Amino acid sequence: MSRSTLHGLRIAITGGGRGIGLATARELHARGAAVVIGDLDGDLAAQAATAISADVLGLPLDVSDHASYAAFLQAATAEGPLDVLVNNAGVMPIGRFIEQSPETLRRALEVNVLGCLHGMSLALPPMLDRGAGHIINVASTAGKSPVPGGVAYCATKSAVVALTETARVEHSGSGVAFTCVMPHFTNTELIAGTRPTRLIPVVEPEDVARAIADAVASKPKDVYVPKLVGAILRTQPLFGRRLRDSLNSRLGAYDTFLTFDRDKRAAYDDRVKRS
C-alpha cells in the first residue's frame, strides 16, 4: 500500500496515547493523513502527538462522556471536516466473572460500547450530510468467540461487532463506509500477564496499525489481524459447540483469561480502576 494513499484525509483516533492507537496514529501520519489523537490522559495524548510530528494534534478525551467526545470532535474538525473516525479506545477486564466488581463491568460497557456509540452519533451526521466518510470500530476476535474469564470483554466486543454491522446496513447507500477491525492477541499492556493462544501468533500493534491504515484506503467491512484467525472464526460455527470448545481448549484459548500472572497485570488493572 502506497504511503501517499491517505494524503489529505483528516482522521481522528481514540485511545491514541499508547498501544494500537499510538501505532495507528504513526502509520496514518506516515501515509500522509492529518491525524488527531484523543486519549483519556490528555498529557499523554499531547506527548504522543508531539513525538509523531508537530502537525499532529493530541487532545484529552473521555469516550464515555458525550460532552467530552463532542468537544474532541469540534477541536478535531476546526480546520476541516472529518474523513475517518477510528474508535479504538477500550479496556479489557479479565478474570472470573463473579469476582469482578460492578464498577469494573460498568466501565467496560461505558468505554468499549458507549464510547463507540458516542463517536458514531456525533461523527455520522456531518458525514451523512456530505455523503462521504468512514467509521472504523476496533473490536476484537473475542467478539466472535467465547473466552472464559472474558465475559464482560467478550460481551462488549460482540456489541461493537454488532453495532458496526447494523450501522453499515442502516446507512447503506449513504456514502459512509463502516469497518470492524478484529485483532487477535496484540502485544500491548492489555494482555499483560496472560499466555498467548497456541499456534496463533501474537500480533504487534504495528500489524494492527497497518491493517487499519489499509482499511482506510480499501474500506472493507471486516478486518481480522492476523488474517489466519478470520478463517478460523468463520469456519468454527460449522463445527458445532462441542468440537469448537475442544479445539479452543487444546489451543489454550479457554485458559488464557483465567490463569494469568496477577502481579504482571496489576499496573494495568489499577490504571483502569482509576480511569
C-alpha cell at 12: 481522528
Which pLDDT tens digit goes with each residue over 41-72? 999 999 999 999 999 999 999 999 999 999 99
pLDDT at res. 197:
87
* Residue 190 grid coordinates: 492489555
Of 153, 224, 254, 268, the active-site residue reads: 153
Strand partners, 225: 183
Residue 1: its pLDDT value, please?
40
Alpha-carbon span 49 to 41, nearest angstrom: 12
Measure the CA–CA gap between 153 and 167, rounded to whole angstroms: 21
1 belongs to a structural domain:
no
Whether 5 is covered by a domain: the verdict is no
Interior CA angle at 210 toward 208 and 216, to 5°? 105
Residue 62, domain member (yes or no): yes
User: In the chain, helix, strand, coil percent, each to 5?
Assistant: 50, 15, 35
Give the pLDDT confidence score for residue 199 in this predicted structure: 81
Residue 176: predicted pLDDT: 98
Low-confidence ranges of the chain (pLDDT < 50): 1-2, 4
> CATH number of the domain that 37 lies in?
3.40.50.720
As for how many domains the chain has, the answer is: 1
Contact criterion met (CB below 8 Å) for 148 and 95: no
For cell 470483554, what's the residue?
Answer: 153
Predicted confidence at residue 208, as pLDDT, reads 98
Asked if the structure places residue 97 within a domain, the reply is: yes
Q: Is residue 85 part of a domain?
A: yes
Q: What are phi and psi of 89, to 5 degrees?
A: -55, 135
Q: What is the pLDDT of residue 271?
A: 83
Active site residue 153: yes
Kindly list the distances between the CA atom of residue 149 and the CA atoms of 16, 92, 102, 177, 275, in Å, as whole numbers in the listed order.
26, 11, 15, 33, 21
In a domain, 2, yes or no: no
Domain that holds residue 102: 10-274
**Domain-located, residue 53:** yes
d(CA 70, CA 64): 11
133 Rama class: left (phi>0) / alpha (psi -120 to 50) / beta: left
> Is residue 127 in a domain?
yes
242 φ/ψ angles, rounded to the nearest 5 degrees: -65, -50
